[in-house]
Structure 1
Amino acid sequence: MKTQTLNVGLVGYGMAGRTFHAPLIQAAPGLELTTVVSRDAERVRADLPDVEVLSRAPALFARPDIDLVVIATPNDTHFPLAKAALGAGKHVVVDKPFSITLSEARLLKSLADEGERLLSVFHNRRWDSDFLTLEALLQAGTLGRVVALESRFDRFRPEVTDRWREHHRPGGGIWYDLGPHLLDQARALFGMPKAILLELATSREGAEVDDDFLALLEYEGLRVTLQASSLVAAPTPRFAVHGTRGSYVKYGLDPQEAWLKAGRTPAPGWGEDPLPGCLTLRDGGEPELVSREHAGLPGDYPVYYAGIAEALLHGTPPPVSVDEALEVMTLLEAGLDSYRQGRWMKLKESNGLRKRLHAH
């Protein structure tokens, strides 16, 4: 592309669009948020007075001046909106999950390939502080050969609110809300598992959809446990990872979401987590174990849209590829099959543990 600034249209201005996408798009060099599609024009204008507001997505897709469309709407609308945007010749970013079904996601990939358009999914938690820290520890072999990873994303939300995620509709529930985050992180660390086992629960009074899940991923010599719940009030480890040389345990969530909700924008010091993790290792080969704080790496959500701009302007690979997003959809769908059938679901293709994460 000749232009050095790409015009972006955002579809949806709910929690995802307002909290994550709008501020991160605005922070990205080479991108300009010019248009938002929302039924609540006053809310958009209060936050973004210089941005045009449209009431319907087709009007945005018909605009020749829009280069990139970002879809931050309820999960069951991702497929028809992304399909229409790609059909109009737009590059597209979709909030996670990619779609409701793997077949829909594969069709979107085909449309993007045929039209030579960029298509990416916003798997932002690859740039959480604790995840980047864990990734670096594994790459360095600090924990030795990893034998167990527990990844939890717990909340205490005992009241069921009137949100689309809480209603019985395709893409509702906690598995489609938090499952994509935890699955993508596991996949990024270790590749695709051999099999998945999922248990879903509906625990809160008046809940219509799943609000608790436990997923096990089978790898060679490694057990990965993924959990999320809406009824956990006490602190639980975000990560607990154990290997032949020691353990890494981290409490507390990456701070970037809370900062964005509070209206903060990326600035120097962005992403630094005030809660360090804990490394427990043998000290210098001695038999005694020593525990110490491990501050880790800063989180970096802004890198996603900076990477999208680089991909469109300079042809670099996007920060999240379509094939990576398809792997997450494969796991989401296989998990549901596991739950419905009450058994482990084997995955047809598995690349096992990534060798780069083995201790040398």
Structure 2
Amino acid sequence: MALRVALIGYGTGGAVFHAPLIDSVPDLTLSAVVTGNPQRRQAVHDRHPDTRILDTTARLWDTAASYDLVVITAPNRRHVPLAREALHAGLPVVIDKPVAVTAAQAHDLAALADARGLAAIPFHNRRWDGDFRTLRRLVHDGDLGDVQRLESRFERWRPTIKPGWKESADPRDAGSILYDLGPHLIDQALVLFGRPDRVYAELDIRRPDAQTHDDAFVALEHAGGVRTHLWMSATAADLGPRFRALGSRASYVTYGLDGQEDALRAGRTPLDDGWGQAPPESYGRLGTPGDTRTVPTSPGAYQDFYLATARALRGEAPPPVDFMDAVHGIEIIEAALRSAEACSVVDL
């Protein structure tokens, strides 16, 4: 029997990402969605007519034995309380990024999951971006030689502020772009090069009336001298390369964001033909000045996160993302905040 999933939250994260990805995995079934919003309840009914709709998490915990996994995609400040409730109810959890607002909260949550003998899995789906999968393969295969520096960008042009908790200055909301996009870029750097030794950051509020950071730069120095330079911005009037990796043998440069998010927003799913395929005009280039070649982009595969999660819950494989990777990511975010405040490099 397929594993029964309860999804907490049906905003963008739940409706656009988690629900269709869960639906695309044969070994998972979307059994319940928790939302008290009338419009979202109707949206669940329209797209997932066989899914139970609950108005509160209390009703979910009352019937915890009816589920095998809880997925949490609520505002950031609710991630830890809801994850703790799920673990105490005897249910493993997938937690949207960031898994916690502080590293101390994340360590406590890891300890609780370990004590309960349950999985707590961060939803770091950008590991399955097609361009990142391509870069990871090139690094692994030695096509770049020794990587010296990676430039990684997640930039947008959004000059108009959209009201909501992501624009909140309250630190309990973790509304900064550093908490929104930073977990993705930092996690990719950790996957490639491991935990850094030093962190430097510049954090700015650029848009009129903005209350929290909307433009950020983070520099990481890893063992062996590899440096990663990470940009995240809502105010970029010109978009730089998504990846620019410089090695002793060659570079790899690619532009544009992975297309899976746009496809999901358009109502497509991994069950559709051609899912995750990048158009040839978006392929990156590998080589040196005057001598480059096109490298086809590996298919994007967000659904593989949930395929691997199902295998982990059945004891067939480790979780697709180690919880401590997310803890280290939050430690880096906190170091970046200290660095920006002091205008100095912070040792980890």
Alignment of 1:1-360 (within 5 A): 4-40=1-37, 41-63=41-63, 64-169=65-170, 170=172, 171-219=174-222, 220-266=224-270, 267-274=272-279, 275-281=282-288, 289-347=290-348
Secondary structure of the residue that 1:34 maps to in structure 2?
Answer: strand
Distance 2:225 2:323 in 1: 29
Distance 2:293 2:202 in 1: 35
Shift of 1:30: 1.3
Contact 2:2 2:29 in 1 (8 A): yes
**Greater CA deviation, 263-272 or 245-254?**
263-272
Amino acid at match of 1:346: D
After superposition, give the CA deviation of every residue in 1:98-144 in whole Å (9 maximum; x if it has no partner). Answer: 11011111111111111111110000000001100001111111111
Secondary structure of the residue that 1:245 maps to in structure 2?
Answer: coil
Shift of 1:337: 2.0
Q: Which has the higher helix share?
A: 2
Distance 2:86 2:62 in 1: 9
Secondary structure of the residue that 2:314 maps to in structure 1?
Answer: helix
Shift of 1:292: 1.8
Amino acid at match of 2:277: E
Secondary structure of the residue that 2:242 maps to in structure 1?
Answer: strand
Amino acid at match of 2:13: A
Amino acid at match of 1:312: L
Shift of 1:198: 1.2
Distance 1:341 1:232 in 2: 25
* TM-score relative to the length of structure 1: 0.91
Amino acid at match of 1:127: W
Contact 1:215 1:226 in 2 (8 A): yes
* TM-score relative to the length of structure 2: 0.94
Contact 2:24 2:303 in 1 (8 A): yes
Shift of 1:21: 0.5
Distance 2:148 2:313 in 1: 39
Shift of 1:243: 1.0
CA RMSD of aligned residues (A): 1.3
After superposition, give the CA deviation of every residue in 1:228-275 in whole Å (9 maximum; x if it has no partner). Answer: 111113231000111111111100000000000100011342211111
After superposition, give the CA deviation of every residue in 1:321-353 in whole Å (9 maximum; x if it has no partner). Answer: 112222212212222222223211111xxxxxx
Secondary structure of the residue that 1:50 maps to in structure 2?
Answer: coil
Greater than 3 Å deviation, 4+ residue runs: none
Distance 2:322 2:341 in 1: 29
Shift of 1:209: 0.8
**Greater CA deviation, 152-161 or 334-343?**
334-343
| Count of equivalent residues | 338
Contact 1:61 1:90 in 2 (8 A): no
Amino acid at match of 1:305: Y
Contact 2:156 2:239 in 1 (8 A): no
Distance 2:237 2:55 in 1: 39
Distance 2:315 2:169 in 1: 43
Contact 2:193 2:226 in 1 (8 A): no
**Greater CA deviation, 229-238 or 88-97?**
229-238
Corresponding residue for residue 352 of structure 1: none
Contact 2:22 2:28 in 1 (8 A): yes
Identity %: 44
Corresponding residue for residue 350 of structure 1: none
**Greater CA deviation, 329-338 or 190-199?**
329-338
Secondary structure of the residue that 1:252 maps to in structure 2?
Answer: coil
Distance 1:211 1:172 in 2: 9
After superposition, give the CA deviation of every residue in 1:32-87 in whole Å (9 maximum; x if it has no partner). Answer: 11110112222322222221111111211221201110000011110101011101
Secondary structure of the residue that 2:244 maps to in structure 1?
Answer: strand
**Greater CA deviation, 267-276 or 133-142?**
267-276
